Amino acid sequence: MPANLTADFLKARERFQQASTDEEKLDALQEMLVTIPKHKGTEKMCADIKRRIAKLKEQEQKSKKGRSSGPESIEREGAGQVVLIGPPNTGKSSLLAYLTNAKPNIADYPFSSLLPVPGMMAYQNIAIQIIDLPPISVDHSESWVYNIIRNADLAIIVVAADDQDNGDDPSAAVTQIIEQLALRHTLLVRKRSGETDWRRVEVPALIVLNKCDLARESYVAKIIDRLASFLPVLPVSTVSGMGMDKLPEMIFSALNILRIYTKLPGKDPDLAVPYTLPIGSVVLDAINAVHREFAARLKFVRIWGSGKFDGQKIPTDHILQDGDIVEIHCF
Ligand SMILES: Nc1nc2c(ncn2[C@@H]2O[C@H](COP(=O)(O)OP(=O)(O)OP(=O)(O)O)[C@@H](O)[C@H]2O)c(=O)[nH]1
Ligand SMILES: [Mg+2]
C-alpha cells in the first residue's frame, strides 16, 4: 500500500537524517510521528519511529542519571516556580533580592548574572520559589535558560523604564523576548489554553516595568499602555519600593493555585500549613495530595469553607475553593 507521505513528514525525515545530536534526532522523530499519515501502509514505519524514540529517551535518562545535577538545574520548592527573565541590566537580580532572602550578584553593568539563583518569597502562609536567570538576548543565551523557563509555572518579563530620553521602548524588548521564546516553542500567555503538544508549551507570564523611579510619570503611563497589550503589567522600582507591595499578590493570583487545609475529626484544622493545588482541583485531588493511599480507603469527606458547607459531607468530584478545609474519613 502506498504510504502517501506528507510534505511535513518528509521535511521532518530530512531533518532527522541531517541531525547531528541526539536532541535534534529526538525532536525530528517526534515530529515525524505526529506528521506521518496513520494507516495500514505506514504501520511498520510508525513502529520503527516509536522504537527509535524510546531508545533515544532511554539513553537520555541514563545520561541524566550519570550526571550530577549541574549548577544550572534548580530543584523545585514551594507552591510554585517563577522565573525572572528579560534583557540585560533591567533589575532581575535586584527584584529577587527585594522579594526573597537570596543574595544574587547585582551590578551596574549588563550580563552580571551567569547562573540561576533561586530564592523563596513568603506570601501569606505559603512560599513561592523565584528564580533569577541570566539575561536573554538574541546572540547570548544558553539552552538551559530556555529549559528552566519551559518548566516554570510563571514567567516575569522584567524590563526597565530608565531610557526614556533615548527613545528606547521597553515594548520592543518584550516583543523580542516573546519571539525568542516562541522560536523555542515556548509561548508566554495570559492564561493557559491547554492547546499544547509534546513540543509546544504555554507558560503564563506577567511584565514588570522596573526602574520607574528614573522615569517621568507621563512616560511610565505611555509605556504601561503599550505593554498591557501583551500581558498584565506592573510598574515598580526596587530602589524606591514603588509598586513592590502589589507584586507578591499579583504573582500568587497568576499562579492560579488554591490553598486547602486538612483537619482530623474533632480537632481544629492546621491553618499554618496549606496544601496548594491548581484552581479547578476537586476533593479527590486534595485527598491524593495528603496521602496516595487515602483514596482507596476513603469512607467520606466533610468540608468547611465558603460559608455554606460547614461540616457537610461532599462527593469526591466537588470543586475546591481557596481556603477550604477538608476532613478525610478512612476505613
Ligand atoms: N534606579 C534604579 N536602579 C535599579 C533599579 N533596580 C535595579 N537597579 C540597578 O540596575 C543595575 C542592574 O541591576 P541588576 O539587578 O543587576 O540587573 P539584572 O537584570 O539582574 O542584570 P543582568 O543579570 O546583567 O541581566 C544595578 O546597578 C541596580 O542597582 C531600580 O528600580 N531603580
Ligand atoms: Mg542579574
Could you tell me the CATH number of the domain that includes residue 161?
3.40.50.300
Residues 95 and 163 occupy one common structural domain: yes
Residue 2 within any structural domain of the chain: no
More confident of the two residues 306 and 87: 87
How far is the C-alpha of 293 from the C-alpha of 299, rounded, in Å?
Answer: 12
In a domain, 111, yes or no: yes
Distances in whole angstroms, Cα of residue 99 to Cα of each of 73, 159, 247, 260: 21, 17, 9, 24
Percent of the chain predicted with pLDDT > 90: 54
Which of 93, 99, 109 maximizes ligand 1 atoms within 8 Å of its Cβ, making it the mutation to test the pocket? 93
User: Hey, what's the cell of 241?
Assistant: 519600593
| 28/105 same-domain check | no
Q: Report the alpha-carbon distance of residue 231 to residue 74 in Å, rounded.
A: 26
What's the pLDDT score for residue 264?
81
Residues 223 and 123 in one domain: yes
Residue 112 one-letter amino acid? S
Structural domain count, the chain = 3
Of all protein residues, whose CA lies closest to atom 14 belonging to ligand 1? Answer: 91
Residues 86 and 234 occupy one common structural domain: yes
Q: Could you read off the pLDDT of 218-268 as tens digits, one per residue?
A: 999 999 999 999 999 999 999 999 999 999 999 999 999 999 998 888 888
Whole-angstrom Cα distance, residue 299 to residue 331?
6
Q: Which ligand is nearest to the CA of 92?
A: 1
Q: Of 23, 41, 66, which residue is a domain's last?
A: 66
Same domain for 273 and 207, yes or no, is no
62 found inside a domain: yes
pLDDT of residue 14: 92
Angle between the N-to-C axes of helices 170-183 and 217-227, in degrees from 0 to 180, rounded to the nearest 10: 30
Alpha helices in 90-246 (DSSP H): 92-99, 143-151, 170-183, 217-227
All residues at 6 or more sequence positions from 14 whose CB lies less than 8 Å from its CB, including other chains: none
Of 255, 282, 306, which closes a domain?
Answer: 255
Exposed / middle / buried, residue 294 (Cβ in 10 Å: 0-12, 13-18, 19+): middle
CA–CA dist 159, 198 (Å, integer): 30
pLDDT at 157: 98
CA distance 301 to 322: 17
Atom of ligand 1 minimally distant from the CA of 132? 20
Contact 78, 120 (CB under 8 A): yes
131 and 233 co-located in one domain? yes
Q: Do residues 86 and 192 share a domain?
A: yes
Residue 2: predicted pLDDT: 62
Give 251-317 as a DSSP string.
HHHHHTEEEEEEE-TTS---TTS-EEEETT-BHHHHHHHH-TTTTTTEEEEEEE-TTT-TTEEE-TT
Whole-number percent of the chain with pLDDT over 70: 95
107 and 169, same domain (yes or no) = yes
What mean pLDDT value characterizes the chain?
Answer: 89
User: Looking at residue 325, which CATH number applies to its domain?
Assistant: 3.10.20.30
Question: Does ligand 1 lie within 6 Å of residue 111's CB atom?
Answer: yes
How high is the pLDDT of residue 195?
Answer: 78
Please give the residue range of the domain that contains residue 22: 7-66
Q: Tell me which amino acid residue 59 is.
A: Q
166 pLDDT higher than 80: no
Residue 280: inside a domain, yes or no?
Answer: yes
User: Is residue 149 situated within a structural domain?
Assistant: yes
Residue 82 pLDDT: 98
Beta bridge partners of 160: 210
Domain assignment present for 76: no
Domain's final residue, options 237, 255, 273: 255
Are 150 and 198 within one domain? yes
Q: What is the pLDDT of residue 224?
A: 96
Q: Characterize the bridge pairing of strands 312-314 and 298-304.
A: antiparallel
- Are both 53 and 130 inside the same structural domain? no
Q: What is the pLDDT of residues 93-103, one digit of tens each?
A: 999 999 999 99
For residue 107 and ligand 1, the question of a CB distance below 6 A is answered with: yes
> Same domain, yes or no, for 96 and 223?
yes
Any atom of ligand 1 within 6 Å of the Cβ of 116: no
Residue 126, in any domain of the structure: yes
Residue pLDDT, tens place only, 60-94: 777 766 555 566 778 899 999 999 999 999 999 99
Cα of 105 to ligand 1 centre, how many Å?
Answer: 10
The structure's pTM equals 0.80
More confident of the two residues 315 and 211: 211
Flag whether 56 is in a domain: yes
Are 38 and 163 found together in one domain? no
To the nearest 10°, report the CA torsion of 176, 178, 179, 180: 80
Residue nearest to atom 2 of ligand 1 (CA): 211
Q: What per-residue confidence (pLDDT) applies to 104?
A: 94
Q: How far apart are CA 170 and CA 32, in angstroms?
A: 39
**pLDDT greater than 90 at residue 39:** no
